[in-house]
Structure 1
Amino acid sequence: MYTGIVSDLGTVAALDEDGARLSIATPAGFLDRAAPGDSIAVDGCCLTLTAKEGTLARFDRGAVTRARTVEPRPGAQVHLEHALRAGEPLGGHLVTGHVDGVATLAAAQAEEGSVAAAFELPPELDARLVAVRGSVAVAGVSLTVAAFADRRFTVQLIPATIERTLLRLDAALVPGTGFNFEADCLARYALRAADPAA
């Protein structure tokens, strides 16, 4: 379980040919509190640390993970977050790291010191999982839905988010770019309870 508050940025060091094994170069000290078997969110995707060599973290990626997430590109930066420990502040919202699919950035523009970013939901995702003023995770970042219509949700990226993550107009926020997307886990259970076929 995570909070969607990104703690660090890592860099994709290697990805094998079938995408099943991933290596991330992490900042100095990041792996000090991690041991093989621990969970770490990489761009919002919960992965199990299989080995660490200095500052290099190694992970295995299963078939379901590969099918539902953005494929990491060697050299690209990624968001990192350690799993939430009991007693730690829940600064964002409860994030499982179980990515629902890839949301595509439709548009982004500066608005009075913040950035309004609109994303298209993955086609396989039930739109009822997203609600205005509800929570979502985009690339592992906890965000509040400001508007929602026609399978497109909009979030406001405040300066603190822009400074601490890769969600910036001069970097990742390019229309057509895909991002790992997770709906609020509470919405999943509410939908399931209301509609067992969902």
Structure 2
Amino acid sequence: MLNPEVSKLGQQAALKAIKKWGQPISKITHLIFCTASCVDMPGADFQLVKLLSLNPSVTRTMIYEAGCYVDATVLRLAKDFAENNEGARILVVCAEITTVFFHGLTDTHIDILVGQAHGASAVIVGANLEPEIERPLFEIVACRQTIIPNSEHGVVANIREMGFNYYLSGEVPKFVGGNVGFSD
């Protein structure tokens, strides 16, 4: 049930990003899709290629079950693909329908609501833009990841017979806020 619906949710976000980009969908050379909602073959990336009528030879990268850290991962990958493939335009799509996280709430475990959220986002990434037809909203100057010491209890998820067990520590904002860097 989730694979086609996650793909459809990703399609909605992708169409908004493509419209804002203002270029024909045929210019998309790469697709990066990420989700923790399902693991099927063929995957959500394959389904999205069909839903958007992308070129069947589009270079696809599918990332499953990577959790919260995947956001920086997909931006890093998209930047690498764009800079190392002349003329590349990368569609990045993240989509979640987290019914596998659904559990009843308890007074001591209300963080489970975060794991039950759903939504999708998409962005087009490129390098060597054509200034007369492309107007970037942002520039990815650098993208890197690091493991924050003593943070392994921040977000914990385990797959079990009844679905995902999910725990979000109240220290996550401190971990993130104390370790985000910006360059000039």
| TM-score normalized with structure 1 length | 0.28
Larger-gyration structure (1/2): 2
The structure with the largest strand share of the pair is 1
